[in-house]
Structure 1
Amino acid sequence: MCERTQWRLVTVNTAPERAKRLIGRMIEALKDRYDIKHVDNCENLDEVVHKMTQHKPNVIFCASMWTPEQAAGVFATAKSIVPDIKTHAIPTGLQVQNGPDAVVEYLIVEVPKLLS
């Protein structure tokens, strides 16, 4: 039996408790297929370098409050520290327009595509 990759996830979200809660729901839903640990959250864009350097995660998600340009900047910074990191931006406005359940449902569909 091959060993499963342990995915160390950092999120970029101005609402850290919400990030922790929603990512926790996603992790629970995907636990039979993936070993994902939410290691930290960046509350603002200035924290990205420090948290990337500190944790060396292999996955980073930008929450839906960030524009595509801001997410691209986060991902460029992340890749400068961890070149093979997997990145994903939740579509801008998803949380505001459709609520937290929509974000969790979206991640349950999209994360397997990212990690496989």
Structure 2
Amino acid sequence: MAAERTQWRLVTVNTAPERAKRLIGRMVEALKDQYDIQHVDNCDNLDQVLPKVTQHKPNVLFCASMWTPEQSAQAFATARSVVPDIKTHAIPEGLQVKNGPDAVVDYLIVEVPKLLG
């Protein structure tokens, strides 16, 4: 008997929503045998975190690499004010600019299993 898989509802914080959707889609495809991840929405800016987390009640929030650690921490604190046990992860600042989108996808494929368990 297979155990019921957790459904992960992911919200991203990324100023490039189409790129977020594309990269997260690649990550979801790569991890689909292990995790049921649905990318439910993207916040184009930090001001959208509170309304979108309130609306969707995600259990995962990722901040893209354009945010500083301080900005990511602000987004995470805002998300936790609505969903206290939300899992959060900040992609290292500058990863996309320095190494390109493939590096972001490769990074997430390694890091997401550590986060989701």
How high is the TM-score relative to the length of structure 2? Answer: 0.99
Report the secondary structure of 1:60's partner residue.
strand
- Give ranges in structure 2 of 5+ residues lacking alignment: none
Identity fraction in percent: 83
Alignment match, 1:51: 52
SS of corresponding position for 2:10: strand
Residue of structure 2 in register with 1:23 after alignment: 24
Counterpart secondary structure, 1:32:
coil
Pair 1:102 & 2:103 matched = yes
Runs of at least 5 residues in structure 1 that lack an aligned partner in the other structure: none
Partner residue in 1 for 2:80: 79
* Runs of at least 4 residues off by over 2 Å: none
State yes or no: 1:33 paired with 2:10: no
Report the number of matched residues. 116
CA RMSD in angstroms, aligned pairs only: 0.3
Q: In the alignment, what sits opposite 1:89?
A: 90
For each residue in 1:62-99, what CA deviation from the matched residue of structure 2 results, as whole angstroms up to 9, or x when unmatched? 00000000000000000010000000000000000000
| Cα deviations by residue, 1:41-60 (Å, 9 ceiling, x for unpaired) | 00001000000000000000
TM-score when scaled to structure 1?
0.99
* Letter aligned with residue 67 of structure 1: T
